């Protein structure tokens, strides 16, 4: 298969090399749109020696016969790049978030509906992990009864990435609901099979703030030998990727956030994410409550527990972690490859769901900014 890539970032490089090429060792990046010459060389060194470089997606689409397109640009360009590709009818893998503003989300929704192109896979790997698939199977079986309450959490042990690298630019990321919670909102929506109707949210910035000069690098800071977040003396790639001071005036991004989401059945979900938890404090998962029982799971431990409410029975299921988002990346790439080969017509992570998650995140951000409940609708 020959693919075109728009934005050859670390994430896209990883899924192509670690997942897609396992499915088709002869797969080639045939065309590449990326303004960074270093990315061109990286693609060649990764086995696509004959890659052709284009200045625009339009030029690549007009000049090449491709089997599919992968979009891995910075977040603020996801919508505009997708709108360029959709009319081609080619299978498309689109990084999340699918939009970083309500205006972009609306534009993408309209463009998607008018294009007729349904061959899209949004990068939501958590929903297709083995553990979430099993969670959904247990819940759909009725074992715990109808889900009437959910408590979900994401305590991120690598939160530095959002304060010491390019993610600190909120104009680019759209905030951490769009960057992080979008994954969790998606798998929750997927497991429940319900539509969110309204959201109330709150964010805080209590730790990663300060009066260090804007643009200060750890290597230039006089406190770099004592600061627990210093990357000045690291010997790996994070010395450059997490190069900036997270206690400076320009760190950007909240360092914790929470949301209450009401669904169309009347039930609600509580969700909380934190970006200064570390090491064994890491947690990512949820508790689903029904009248008959409670199911809880955690991605980091790979354990599901089902607690029955009217007996003392507790069921435990254990799973291996898997590579690449707990094994979800491999499932996404299988779906994308199936769309390109024609062996499948249905995406495991369609754009309709990507749009719902983005809308929920955007409304949560608006709620946090205004202190109001927000309707999760396109009106």
d(CA 312, CA 318): 20
Residue 41 CB neighbour total at 10 angstroms: 11
Specify the DSSP class assigned to residue 244.
Answer: B
Residue 373 CB neighbour total at 10 angstroms: 13
In the chain, what percentage of residues exceed pLDDT 90?
A: 92
Residue 119 CB neighbour total at 10 angstroms: 23
What is the DSSP code string of 313-336?
A: -EEEEE----STTTTHHHHHHHHH
Specify the DSSP class assigned to residue 181.
Answer: I
Is 90 exceeded by the pLDDT of residue 61? yes
Q: pLDDT digit string (tens) for 180-190? A: 999 999 999 99
Q: pLDDT digit string (tens) for 209-251? A: 999 999 999 999 999 999 999 999 999 999 999 999 999 999 9
Specify the DSSP class assigned to residue 182.
Answer: H
β pairing state of 374-375 and 196-204: antiparallel
β pairing state of 314-318 and 374-375: unpaired
d(CA 138, CA 77): 38
Q: pLDDT digit string (tens) for 134-148? A: 999 999 999 999 999
Question: Against a cut of 0.75, is the pTM above it?
Answer: yes
d(CA 94, CA 68): 11
**Under a CB-based contact definition with an 8 Å cutoff, are residues 13 and 34 in contact?**
no
- Tokens representing 242? 């997490």
Q: Which residue has the tokens 């083995």?
A: 130
Is 70 exceeded by the pLDDT of residue 323? no
Strand partners, 13: none
**Under a CB-based contact definition with an 8 Å cutoff, are residues 252 and 275 in contact?**
no
Nearest to 259 by CA among 187, 179, 202: 202
Is 60 exceeded by the pLDDT of residue 274? yes
pLDDT of residue 327: 82
Residue 57 CB neighbour total at 10 angstroms: 23
Mean pLDDT of 108-113: 98
**Residue 171 pLDDT class (50, 70, 90 cuts):** confident
β pairing state of 149-155 and 268-274: parallel
pLDDT of residue 321: 59
């Amino acid at each position: 298969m020959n693919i075109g890539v728009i934005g050859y970032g670390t994430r896209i490089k990883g899924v192509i090399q670690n997942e897609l090429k396992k499915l088709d060792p002869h797969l080639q990046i045939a065309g590449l749109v990326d303004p960074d010459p270093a990315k061109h060389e990286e693609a060649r060194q990764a086995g696509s020696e004959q890659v052709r470089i284009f200045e625009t997606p339009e030029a690549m689409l007009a000049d090449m016969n491709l089997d599919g397109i992968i979009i891995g640009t910075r977040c603020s360009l996801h919508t505009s790049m997708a709108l360029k590709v959709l009319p081609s009818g080619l299978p498309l893998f689109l990084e999340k978030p699918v939009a970083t503003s309500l205006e972009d989300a609306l534009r993408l929704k309209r463009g998607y509906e008018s294009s007729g192109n349904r061959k899209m896979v949004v990068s939501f790997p958590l929903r297709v992990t083995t553990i979430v698939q099993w969670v959904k199977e247990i819940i759909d079986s009725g074992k715990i009864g109808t889900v009437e309450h959910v408590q979900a959490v994401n305590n991120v042990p690598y939160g530095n990435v959002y304060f010491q690298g390019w993610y600190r630019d909120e104009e680019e990321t759209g905030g951490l609901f769009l960057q992080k919670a979008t994954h969790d909102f998606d798998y929750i929506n997927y497991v429940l099979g319900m539509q969110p109707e309204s959201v109330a949210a709150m964010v805080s910035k209590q730790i990663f703030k300060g009066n260090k000069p804007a643009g200060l690098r750890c290597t230039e800071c006089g406190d770099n030998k004592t600061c627990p977040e210093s990357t000045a003396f690291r010997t790996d790639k994070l010395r450059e990727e997490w190069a900036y001071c997270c206690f400076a005036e320009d760190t950007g991004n909240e360092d914790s956030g929470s949301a209450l989401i009401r669904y169309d059945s009347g039930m609600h979900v509580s969700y909380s994410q934190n970006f200064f938890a570390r090491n064994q404090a890491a947690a990512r998962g949820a508790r689903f409550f029904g009248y008959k029982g409670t199911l809880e799971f955690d991605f980091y431990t790979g354990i599901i527990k089902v607690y029955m409410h009217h007996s003392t029975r507790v069921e435990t299921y254990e799973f291996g972690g898997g590579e690449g988002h707990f094994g979800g990346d491999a499932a996404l790439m299988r779906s994308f490859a199936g769309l390109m080969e024609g062996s499948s017509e249905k995406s495991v992570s369609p754009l309709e769901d990507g749009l719902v998650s983005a809308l929920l995140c955007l409304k949560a951000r608006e709620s946090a900014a205004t202190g109001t409940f927000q309707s999760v609708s396109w009106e």
